[in-house]
Amino acid sequence: MKFFIDTANLAQIKEANDFGILDGVTTNPSLMAKEGITGEENILKHYVDICNIVEGDVSAEVISTDFDGIIREGEALAKLHKNIVVKVPMIKDGIKAIKYFSKKGIKTNCTLVFSAGQAILAAKAGATYISPFLGRLDDISFDGIELIKQIVHIFRVQNYQTQILAASIRSPLHIVKCAEAGADVITSPLDSILALLKHPLTDIGLEKFIADHNKGKKISE
Ligand code: G3P
């Protein structure tokens, strides 16, 4: 399972990249706004800055909701860097655009996926990735992990090549459950990735190993 970071924060992207486990980045307009990145020129520059940090796919989202606008924006984004993946919303014109981009060899990430039916349509159109938002489903009392399991099953049975990119991750347990379910990729905030490191017995065990090593040193001195 690949690990993407879901942020537009350059410091966090650098930290995850230095950690050595990062395979890519996803962003969205809300994450860009959170970092104070506004205006077309600044947003495009920020995508290039992200691509220069990470060797892996970087999702950049279109704002248009009509076919011509999505194509215009998507082609401009794809020209920015070879690793840009055009993030397209799950709407009718979005599916048409994904088909168009797929024929042109431009990578796409179909975003705002909340059902298996939507996932099937995006796969049929040739999306490189689909992004089911599991945390937002959990928020409204639907089981997000169950959706990931259902889509994994369908894509295996149907031999769809589209990668399942589990998004809207809220906890380290979400990451573990996605791995168990067979997601191809998770995209997560840095804190949930780093939380995977934590276990109290690891901390206690390490403290004891170091203390015992130091005792041994004192005896031999
Ligand atoms: O990038 C899309 C998705 O991961 C957003 O997550 O936490 O806003 O539901 P969240």
Pocket probe mutation, ligand 1, options 26, 27, 28, max atoms within 8 Å of Cβ: 28
Answer yes or no: 99 catalytic. no
89: enclosing H helix or E strand: strand 84-89
Q: Is 135 in the pocket of ligand 1 (CB under 6 A)?
A: yes
Is 0.85 surpassed by the pTM of this model?
Answer: yes
Spell out the residues 6+ positions from residue 73 whose beta carbon is closer than 8 angstroms to its own.
62, 63, 64, 86
Do 27 and 57 form a contact (C-beta atoms < 8 A)?
no
For the chain, the distance separating the N- and C-terminal CA atoms, rounded to the nearest angstrom, is 48
As given in the structure block, the two tokens for residue 106 are: 């431009």
Check residue 218 and give its pLDDT.
Answer: 72
Q: Which of 14, 87, 149, 177 is catalytic?
A: 87
59-105 pLDDT, tens per residue?
999 999 999 999 999 999 999 999 999 999 999 999 999 999 999 99
Q: What is each CA distance from 38 to 23, 52, 65, 83, 128, in whole angstroms?
A: 26, 20, 19, 22, 27
DSSP one-letter code for 164: E
Query: Counting Cβ atoms within 10 Å, is residue 116 exposed (0-12), middle (13-18) or buried (19+)?
Result: middle
